[in-house]
Every structure is written in C-alpha cells, then in structure tokens.
Structure 1
C-alpha cells in the first residue's frame, strides 16, 4: 500500500480517537475546566500533533516534516487570535459553561469540512494560476494591517451576517434548553441561542479560513501536509479555548506578533515566483516572532484594565 494512503488512514484514525477522548473528558467535567486542566489538555493535543509530525518526518522525509511543523505553528498561532473572538461570541450569547463544549465541537466539525473544501480548491488554484499567490499574499498583508489598526474589541457577534439571516429565517428563543439547538413551543419551531452561537462560530471560522489557508499555502502546496497541519491545529481548539478564556487579556502583544507573521507569509507568497524562502528559515522567523510577542508581556508589562 502507498505510504501516502497509509498516512491518510492513520491521520483519520488518530483524529477520530482523539476527538472521542476529548469529548468524553469534556462531558465528565460538564464544560467546567480549570486553567491547569486546560493546560494539560492543550499539552496533550500539541504533543499528539508533534508525534504525527515525527511520523511524517520518518515516512515522507525531513523536508515534508519541516513543512508540516511550519504549517502547524502558523495555524496554531492564528487559532490563538481566533479564540479571543470565540470568547466574545460566547459572552454575547451568555452561553453557560456546560453548553460551551457542544458549540465548540460543532464549530470544529464544521471547520474540518470547510477546510477540506477550501484547501483542495486553494491548491488547485495555485497550481493552475501562479498569480493566485499574489492575490493570497495580498489578502494576508491586508489582514495583518487591519489586525493592528482594528482590535478584536470592535467585533460584534450581533452584527454577524449569518446571525441576522438566521433571525429572519426562523424565530429565536431567549432561553437555553440543555444542549438542544431547536425546541417546539405551541407547535412552532424555535432556534435556541445555542444554535445561533454555532452559526456565528461557523461563519467566523469561514472568515478565518480565508486568512489561514493562504498562510499555509505559502509554505507548501502538498494537500496532505496543508490539511493535516490545519486539522491538528483546529481539533485542539476546545481545550485551547478554556485555557485562553482564563487568561484573556494577559497577552496583549500577541496580536501584533500574529500580524507580523501574517505580513511575513504574505510577502513570502508574493515573492515566491521570483525568490524562494527556505521553509526552515520561515519556521525560525515564525517561532521567533511568537516567542518575542509573548515574552514582551514580561518585559513591558501591560497596565491592568
């Protein structure tokens, strides 16, 4: 059997088992996870992703292994910024702690499907039209500038287009009914705030994908590497959410570090047709920027709000 096919099978088996275990742990805690527990879970997910990267290194070669690791670091760093948006969505809809894992689970499953479509379409476009790299690179640089100029505090879940459309399509309940997305009242079907939150999360991830997928495509156009690095970064987001929700506001400089990374990979995509930047160098730049943006919080301590 082809090595690539074996790796694809191994990937899906690992993801399915890991998600099942993660779901069981979340159900046991009823969505109430301490920072220490969340840190343990995040460490397990990162460790699993790195082990899969080691498997790629041993089976597909060192070049593919470095591409996977670079793609994973880029996706995971972008996911950190996205999590703060999810925190705002949950706050807006006042999602109870015991219901938050359900929203995150469906959000992640939706992201897995959307990324599959986006990645294959993106790879096809880039391999067919070289100038798509220029467009994708421009999108990343524009996003980086917008990220610095406009903070996450400007994000309003209530103005989300998907949420507005949902309100027009069907009536919404103001109260929660366990983990139910829909309830019947007097023979009429209503959507619960839980379903509304899932819709907004899915739409937000659609917007995030427009930024993150071109970022990984600047590193490699190998569909297997792009997709697996993307999904390993995504499936650990539930535990990452609970870690960051307890640490929100403690790393204000991280946003600027992520913006620099987006600008770097955007410039790399634009220059790719004329100048090749080694993947190992890209990895070093990305890790260094992330480390500096986190360490800056200890050098220039932000004022308490």
Structure 2
C-alpha cells in the first residue's frame, strides 16, 4: 500500500474526534436511559460510517487497502463484543444506574482510543525494526487463545484488575453517585464516586484487551493507518452496541470459544508471515480476503450455534471468558463486602 498522506491522517482523526464529540453531546446533554430505538439508530449509524469509510478507502487506495480495513474492522468489532461482557460485569458490580451508564462508557471509550493509538505506534515501530515481531505477536495470540479456551466458562475477576484494586484502596470514596459526577465534595473533601471507579475499570480493562486486539489486527494488515481506523470505528459504536445487545450477550454462549479460534487463526497467520519473510519464502501466506472469509464464517457459526443451544437450554448463560482461572468468592464474603466499594 502507498504511503498514507498527512491530510488523510488529519481527516480521519478529525472525523473520529467529531463523532466522539457528538456522542458526548448526546449523552451529556440529558442523562437518560437508552432505549432500544435509540440504541438501534446509533448502532446502525456507526456501522454505516465504518462501512462508508471503508468504501472511500477502497476507492482511493485500492482493493487491497479496502479488504484489509474491512478484515481489521470485523476482527476489532468481534473482539469488542467480548469487552461488553466485562463492561456489564463492572456496571453490575458498582450498581450503576441506567441513566449514567452511557456517560461512563463514553469516558472509557475515549480513554481506550488514546491508549490504542499509543499501542499502534509502538506495534508499527516494532514491526519496522524487528523482523521477529510477527513471530512474537503470533505466539502471544496463540497463548491467549489457549487460555481463553481453557477458561471460556468463567468471567474475569475484578480483583485481578490491579489498577482498579489500587484505586479503590487509596482514593477516598463515596457510595453516592452525586448526579453522575466522577468526583464530588463531601464534608469539605474531594471524594471519588462509584462512576470514577467504573471509568478506571473500563479503561484499564480495555488496555488489557488492546494487548490482544492490536496484534490481532496487525495480523490482517501492517499499515498503521488501517490499524488505527479499524480500531477507532470499531470502538466508536461501542456505546450504542452495549445497550442494543445487552440482553443478547448472555445468549452468545459460544462467543468465547469462537474468539479463541479467531485469535489462534490470526496467530498462525502471523507465524506463517514471519516464516515466509524471514526463514523460508516457500512457506505460503494467507491472503487477506480468505482471512476475512474465515473470520466472518466463524462469527456466523458461533452466533447461530449459540442461539440454537440457548433455545434448547434456556438456563445457560454466556461468559466473557478469562485468561486465568478465577477463584470463586464465597457468598458470605460477597455479602460482607460493601456495595460499590
């Protein structure tokens, strides 16, 4: 792919910032419960924006760039659905009222965009300097896939989030949401509301997810511009998607299994790329259109199989999956723990 001109970077970043600003205006203008109609409108809108951007990129930069963008966007979008599982857990843990949920989601998404931009820059620099970066990324994705498969029936434990645990230990806190503020004043001192801890939890959780998603999208394209665009447009619609499929999430009982297969597939693809370029050129590479087809096929099979499974076993509930074994907390310990603290 040809070198991306500066104006394309500026235009794309400007579009992302403008869309994020619109989201903030909509959410902050009047805190409210997001109903199905509103969530559907914004979800369709952001999917349309993402597809339109891909069509423009296809027209301006060619078939290869367009295909790589769509493959990267599908990968990021599918992995972001797993993020939503964890967001649901965090929201429930802190008993966040529905009126405030979209506000804290937006703060988390904005932080995620900034953090991922840094990760993308680091990843692109590593690929350009170290020839074995693809091998490292591939092995890491396969390891992640194995761990996710092993613990696919578990949910992440918030106690494993060291950033959130530290913040809850050192910051003076209140159980009052204070009208949706992140920080408030009580008895003459500043205190953190539960929304601040939710924001920290969502932001730090997405940082961990970025460790998987950034190498994964580099598995379908090595162009930093496409990697950034795919990540940005996948994240932008996350707020609306959260409210749209909140009820559907628990029915996707095979999602973690499907994501582990996708991560393993991309990990193998990265290793083949390394072997082709640095060890033995006769090693075949996986063309991006085939990769896109495989990923879409896995997602379709996982979704259909999940809905069929839940129809026959309505008592089953989906889990986010965990990268480590989760030690269950006894119910008595949960009851003794103050709510939202």
- Alignment correspondent of 1:293: 302
Counterparts in 2 of 1:151 and 1:76: CA distance versus 1, 3 Å? same
Q: 3-state DSSP class of the match of 2:191?
A: strand
Greater displacement, 182-191 / 276-285: 182-191
Q: CA deviation at 1:159?
A: 4.1
Report if the CA contact (8 A) 1:126-1:133 is conserved. yes
CA offset digits 1:138-192 (Å, max 9, x no partner) = 1111111222221364322244211221133221112211121112222222111
CA offset digits 1:203-227 (Å, max 9, x no partner) = 1011000000000111111111110
Greater displacement, 252-261 / 232-241: 252-261
In 1, distance between residues paired with 2:140 and 2:4?
35
Report if the CA contact (8 A) 2:23-2:106 is conserved. no
Q: Which ranges in structure 2 are unaligned for 5 or more consecutive residues? A: 277-283, 316-341
Report if the CA contact (8 A) 1:85-1:152 is conserved. no
Q: Which ranges in structure 1 are unaligned for 5 or more consecutive residues? A: none
Q: TM-score, normalised by structure 2?
A: 0.84
- Deviation above 4 Å: which 4+ runs of structure 1? none
Larger Rg: 2
Counterparts in 2 of 1:3 and 1:270: CA distance versus 1, 3 Å? closer
Q: TM-score, normalised by structure 1?
A: 0.94
In 1, distance between residues paired with 2:30 and 2:70?
31
- Alignment correspondent of 2:45: 44
Q: 3-state DSSP class of the match of 2:98?
A: coil
Report if the CA contact (8 A) 2:28-2:103 is conserved. no
Matched, 1:173 2:174: yes
Q: 3-state DSSP class of the match of 1:183?
A: strand
Q: CA deviation at 1:40?
A: 2.5
Q: CA deviation at 1:27?
A: 4.4
In 2, distance between residues paired with 1:93 and 1:152?
23
In 1, distance between residues paired with 2:155 and 2:63?
42
CA offset digits 1:242-301 (Å, max 9, x no partner) = 112132312112221111111100111111122321111101101111111111134443
Report if the CA contact (8 A) 1:35-1:246 is conserved. no
- Alignment correspondent of 2:246: 245
- Alignment correspondent of 2:314: 304
Q: CA RMSD in A?
A: 1.8
